[in-house]
C-alpha cells in the first residue's frame, strides 16, 4: 500500500539497569561530596572559615599536598569553594566555602547526628557478624 508506514513501538523509558542514576538519584551528589578528601575539606572550611593552604594541611592530617591541591581545584571547579589570590610578597592564597558549599551544612549536621547515634551500633553489628563468620 502506498503511504503505508511501518508502526514501531515507542521506546521504553530508561530503567535503573540502563541508568544507575534512576536507581539512586543521589549518586551524583554522593560522588561529588563524599569522595575521600572532599568531606574533610568542606567540613574544615565550614567549621573554621577562610583558610590558607598550610592551615588546611595542618587541620586535615594524612593528606598529601598534591592530593589537597587536586581536591581544592576540583571543589573550586564544582563551585563549592572559592580561591582568593592576594598578590603580595610572598603571595597569599586563601580558600573559603561558597554559599553553594554552605548549603550542604544541614546534610553534614544530619550525618554527624546519625554518626553519634548509630556508629556504635554499626561497630556492634560488625563484631557480631565477624564472630558468626569465624564460627562457620
Q: Is there a domain that residue 5 lies in?
A: no
| Measured CA distances, 57 to 1, 65, 102 (Å) | 76, 7, 21
Total domains present in the chain: 1
Q: Is there a domain that residue 38 lies in?
A: yes
The CATH number covering residue 52 comes to: 1.10.10.10
Cα–Cα distance measured from residue 113 to residue 133, given in angstroms and rounded to the nearest whole number:
30
The pLDDT score that the predictor gives to residue 36 is 86
Q: Is there a domain that residue 130 lies in?
A: no
Q: Is there a domain that residue 14 lies in?
A: no
Residue 75, C-alpha cell as written in the block:
571543589
The pLDDT score that the predictor gives to residue 50 is 97
Q: Is there a domain that residue 42 lies in?
A: yes
For 49-84, the pLDDT digits (tens) are: 999 999 999 999 999 999 999 999 999 999 999 999
Q: Is there a domain that residue 3 lies in?
A: no
Q: Is there a domain that residue 56 lies in?
A: yes
Q: Is there a domain that residue 82 lies in?
A: yes
The pLDDT score that the predictor gives to residue 44 is 95
Q: What is the mean pLDDT of each run of 10 residues along the chain (136 residues)?
A: 58 61 79 87 95 96 95 96 94 95 92 94 96 90
| Measured CA distances, 78 to 52, 67, 101 (Å) | 19, 16, 9
User: Domain range spanning residue 58?
Assistant: 26-103
Amino acid at each position: 500500500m502506498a503511504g503505508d508506514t511501518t508502526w514501531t513501538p515507542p521506546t521504553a523509558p530508561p530503567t535503573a539497569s540502563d541508568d544507575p542514576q534512576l536507581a539512586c538519584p543521589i549518586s551524583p551528589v554522593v560522588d561529588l561530596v563524599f569522595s575521600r578528601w572532599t568531606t574533610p575539606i568542606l567540613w574544615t572550611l565550614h567549621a573554621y572559615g577562610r583558610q590558607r593552604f598550610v592551615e588546611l594541611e595542618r587541620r586535615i592530617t594524612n593528606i598529601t599536598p598534591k592530593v589537597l591541591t587536586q581536591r581544592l581545584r576540583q571543589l573550586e571547579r564544582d563551585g563549592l569553594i572559592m580561591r582568593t589570590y592576594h598578590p603580595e610578597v610572598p603571595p597569599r592564597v586563601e580558600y573559603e566555602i561558597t554559599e553553594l558549599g554552605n548549603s550542604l551544612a544541614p546534610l553534614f549536621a544530619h550525618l554527624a547526628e546519625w554518626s553519634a547515634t548509630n556508629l556504635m551500633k554499626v561497630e556492634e553489628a560488625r563484631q557480631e557478624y565477624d564472630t558468626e563468620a569465624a564460627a562457620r
